[in-house]
């Protein structure tokens, strides 16, 4: 049974959609299911997803020129890998623009710490339970989130100087 089939079997009511193309399996899940699904992926012996390869976000503000509407403006995207079984799985979690927040996975994968800080810094999506959610790429005084599609590219930022 594939990892995607196992997730579908266990969390059928929490899955919004799935797709598989050339062995690339993806599940779009409800935000409240993120932590239980991720814990299942890591702890189920037949899955053993012990490596969080990547975590990023997508801003669908102007998706397909505005012709296609997505239910949520943002998606947080997780790429998991099992070193033992050599299989991959992608999870996508839709995130509402009005309350951009999902659970942190730092307690399950230490590598999530920096990935989540990067997503917070660039997209403004918060991670509940993150131990130290602060900017990682931009300076603390930076205003806004630079990878949001509506971020003004010519915006003037506060100047910072040496701190003596």
**C-beta of residue 8 within 8 angstroms of C-beta of residue 47:** no
Q: Please, is 19 exposed, middle or buried when counting C-beta atoms within 10 Å of its C-beta (0-12, 13-18, 19+)?
A: exposed
Q: Parse the chain into domains and list their residue ranges.
A: 3-105
Closest CA to 106 of 85, 78, 81: 78
CATH number for the domain whose boundaries are 3-105: 3.30.460.80
In a structure prediction context, what are the per-residue pLDDT tens digits for the chain, which is 164 residues long? 899 999 999 999 999 999 999 889 999 999 999 999 999 999 999 999 999 999 999 999 977 666 667 889 999 999 999 999 999 999 999 999 999 999 999 999 999 999 999 999 999 999 999 999 999 999 888 899 999 999 887 878 777 766 66
Degrees, nearest 5: CA angle 45-4-69: 140
Residue keyed to tokens 């915006």 = 155
Strands 87-95 and 74-82: antiparallel
Position 67 scores a pLDDT of 66
Position 39 scores a pLDDT of 98
Q: Please, is 141 exposed, middle or buried when counting C-beta atoms within 10 Å of its C-beta (0-12, 13-18, 19+)?
A: exposed
Position 64 scores a pLDDT of 67
Degrees, nearest 5: CA angle 75-36-124: 30
Position 71 scores a pLDDT of 84
**C-beta of residue 80 within 8 angstroms of C-beta of residue 111:** no
pTM: 0.91
Position 98 scores a pLDDT of 94
Q: What is the 8-class DSSP label of residue 86?
A: T
Query: 120-140: string of b/e by CB count within 10 Å (b at 16+)?
Result: bbbbbbbbeebeebeebeeee
């Amino acid at each position: 049974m594939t990892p995607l089939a196992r997730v579908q079997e266990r969390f059928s009511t929490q899955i919004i959609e799935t797709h598989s193309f050339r062995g690339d399996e993806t599940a779009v899940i409800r935000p409240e299911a993120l932590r239980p699904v991720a814990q299942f992926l890591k702890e189920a012996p037949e899955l053993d997803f012990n490596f969080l390869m990547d975590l990023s976000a997508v801003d669908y503000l102007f998706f397909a020129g505005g012709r296609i509407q997505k239910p949520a403006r943002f998606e947080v995207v997780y790429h998991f890998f099992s070193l033992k079984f050599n299989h991959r799985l992608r999870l996508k979690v839709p995130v509402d623009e009005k309350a951009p927040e999902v659970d942190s996975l730092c307690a399950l994968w230490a590598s999530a710490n920096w990935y989540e800080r990067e997503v917070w810094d660039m997209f403004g999506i918060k991670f509940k339970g993150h131990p130290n959610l602060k900017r990682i790429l931009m300076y603390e005084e930076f205003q806004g989130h630079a990878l949001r599609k509506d971020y003004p590219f010519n915006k003037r930022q506060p100047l910072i100087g040496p701190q003596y």
